[in-house]
Structure 1
């Protein structure tokens, strides 16, 4: 299916909304039924019809169809946030007494889901180094029902061999779920490598403007309908029609944004390689990276996130570098038009550093600014840190 068709036409029936070029925000909680028989049908087929916006809504439905097509899956379901989508995908596969194998160092709230939430309900979780598929196999138990991947990881960007882990899972009847937010549905398609459920934080690249929250789970129609009838309808973490409309707007420009971000990131990383103040650049698209070939095989292009390790043992110098940046916002998320940093040192408080990550790490996200503009900003911040 052509990407231009997906982004600009799929799921859009302009004849039904006055031939408007932009789709409408169907801002309603209810949809009326003309007869008792029609209402009876709607109640029995709520996954298929517009009856109550907590279940289906035309604006949200357009978004789901487009993202499912981008990921090459049969169906998708949208949530109010990325972690709501992750949680629903995981919960749909487990029950008390089950076991999950999860990659180490996933997104913070995914980590809490795995290590704090699931054990409360009798689900055991083993965290593994995902860089070797054999670690998933070694951690597998007779009651293992789920492998969870996040490739690349959120902060240090280790990859998992998606096809190899999916093959191990299929041989054993184990479900696989991956958080694919880092790569976007344009640059990596895990379903084509054998993954069962693909999750996105639509807040990131899909939205692209830092003004809407959302999450999406993609998979077979059978698996998505199961989530709809259980976790989705029961827990109610729905995406609003207005946020769905904002995410649709973001999808229109996704290809051109991703290409610009990828190009600028390569230029910024090339500059950072020349600076002696940088101990390490954590970015799988560096030829020296141990997983470079895997990154090239799994992903169509690089994206805008990488992490640097500053060459210092003083947290004050890390703070000075970060505070001196004038054109990088300091924020938790990424994926919008603006460039951002997230310092691991932010976990430092009152003489007590609470993190598994070294405080010298600073995660960067590259947005849509001119590369020279960003490079000059990094240069002046490094000079201030060096001259301290």
Structure 2
């Protein structure tokens, strides 16, 4: 892992950012417009809103502090924060494709991202979903109009690892842009830009915010990509992050190294317990030697978050329902990455045929280890698994 001192340097506020009476925490600039001393000053700022404060839909001081912190953490040149993770993914896609272009989705990408790509069909954008993460499968899916490869590593729900350097090498040889959601690993445990990725996406609602009280997204990329995106996909669409949400994100980032260490430790301890449980048929955690891409993970990752999945031996929806309803400490709910341990399944009973088509196991459960004592969480699972 990187030197902790280097990480903490990214999370400190610079003198330039401390234009506010040496406050320990930056203020929330809860203002829509910014005023100017002269019309000349306004005209100059309006001509370059990315680098001037004119209206918060463009640039806001509190949001900019969060953006600067994220860009430095990811090792990127620039960052823009959005009102949600989906707004960020939407901007990344829209700035990368045009009518008639083709998108490849690797592995199991977040289902709402898939829905967004399907929605783009109304603009004559086509897509191919590859359930495999092999480079050969990706290469065979490339078409003449392929412009984007969208991926997550590990993949959503199944937690397969993508060989990012090989994929980005292939993409660059064909002039294809790569976009990756790095919410699982965070910048602490993986830096995709250094592996050749063009745009990194974060749902800051997850580990970066870390308290289940924030919805937001972020894109980190080269200054050229972010500046090209700013006027249209960012400012024109109006999905900018509000100052208060940026302040919450700043708060979360300052404790990120400490919180991720707790998530990692709890996640590994629970995963090892489940890996030996007779009611569990499989555990999908890249930190376990039983994971088929364990060695690839050791090369690409500097640590593991607390999110992983496992398969129950009890079949289908009824087995999942029975197990979930016995849990007392784990909260059933979407999202993840906060202090509370959460659990959910992609199987809602009515969608089993769709899951089969997606090559998703019907007995799959996703677990997010929070900050409660690991032994208490294991006891909770033990009670629920006893009759599963």
Provide TM-score, normalisation by structure 2.
0.95
Gaps of 5+ in 2: none
Partner Cα distance (2:8, 2:106) in 1: 34
**Structure 1 residue 231: Cα displacement:** 0.5
Moved more, 128-137 or 90-99: 128-137
For 1:9, the equivalent position in structure 2 comes to 13
Q: Structure 1 pair 287/231, CA: closer, same or farther in 2 (3 Å)?
A: same
1:31 aligned residue (15, 30, 34): 34
1:336-355, aligned counterparts within 5 Å?
336-345=338-347, 347-349=348-350, 354-355=354-355
1:364 aligned residue (343, 367, 387): 367
For 1:89, the equivalent position in structure 2 comes to 92
Partner Cα distance (1:314, 1:138) in 2: 33
Runs of 4+ aligned structure 1 residues displaced above 6 Å come to: none
8 A contact 1:260–1:368 mirrored in 2: yes
Size of the aligned set, in residue pairs, is: 381
8 A contact 2:92–2:219 mirrored in 1: yes
Deviations 1:150-197 (A, max 9, x none): 111111111111111111111121111111111111111000011110
Deviations 1:103-140 (A, max 9, x none): 132101101012x2121101111112352112221111
For 2:236, the equivalent position in structure 1 comes to 234
Q: Structure 1 pair 129/236, CA: closer, same or farther in 2 (3 Å)?
A: same
For 2:262, the equivalent position in structure 1 comes to 260
8 A contact 2:344–2:366 mirrored in 1: yes
For 1:174, the equivalent position in structure 2 comes to 176
Provide TM-score, normalisation by structure 1.
0.95
Gaps of 5+ in 1: none
1:169-208, aligned counterparts within 5 Å?
169-208=171-210
8 A contact 1:322–1:343 mirrored in 2: no
Partner Cα distance (1:274, 1:132) in 2: 28
Q: Structure 1 pair 75/288, CA: closer, same or farther in 2 (3 Å)?
A: same
Deviations 1:306-336 (A, max 9, x none): 1111111263332121111100000110000
Partner Cα distance (2:50, 2:61) in 1: 12
2:320 aligned residue (318, 321, 334): 318
TM-align CA RMSD = 1.5
**Structure 1 residue 354: Cα displacement:** 4.7
Partner Cα distance (1:161, 1:308) in 2: 22
SS of alignment partner, residue 323 of structure 2: helix
**Structure 1 residue 283: Cα displacement:** 1.4
SS of alignment partner, residue 17 of structure 1: coil
Tell me, yes or no, if structure 1 residue 109 matches structure 2 residue 118.
no
8 A contact 2:203–2:216 mirrored in 1: yes
8 A contact 1:32–1:51 mirrored in 2: yes
**Structure 1 residue 358: Cα displacement:** 3.1
Partner Cα distance (1:209, 1:378) in 2: 23
Q: Structure 1 pair 154/75, CA: closer, same or farther in 2 (3 Å)?
A: same
1:323-334, aligned counterparts within 5 Å?
323-334=325-336
Q: Structure 1 pair 121/314, CA: closer, same or farther in 2 (3 Å)?
A: closer
8 A contact 1:284–1:295 mirrored in 2: yes
Q: Structure 1 pair 353/326, CA: closer, same or farther in 2 (3 Å)?
A: farther
Tell me, yes or no, if structure 1 residue 153 matches structure 2 residue 155.
yes
8 A contact 1:202–1:214 mirrored in 2: yes
Partner Cα distance (1:247, 1:290) in 2: 35
**Structure 1 residue 12: Cα displacement:** 5.9
Moved more, 355-364 or 117-126: 355-364
Partner Cα distance (1:202, 1:352) in 2: 30
Moved more, 98-107 or 2-11: 2-11
**Structure 1 residue 266: Cα displacement:** 1.0
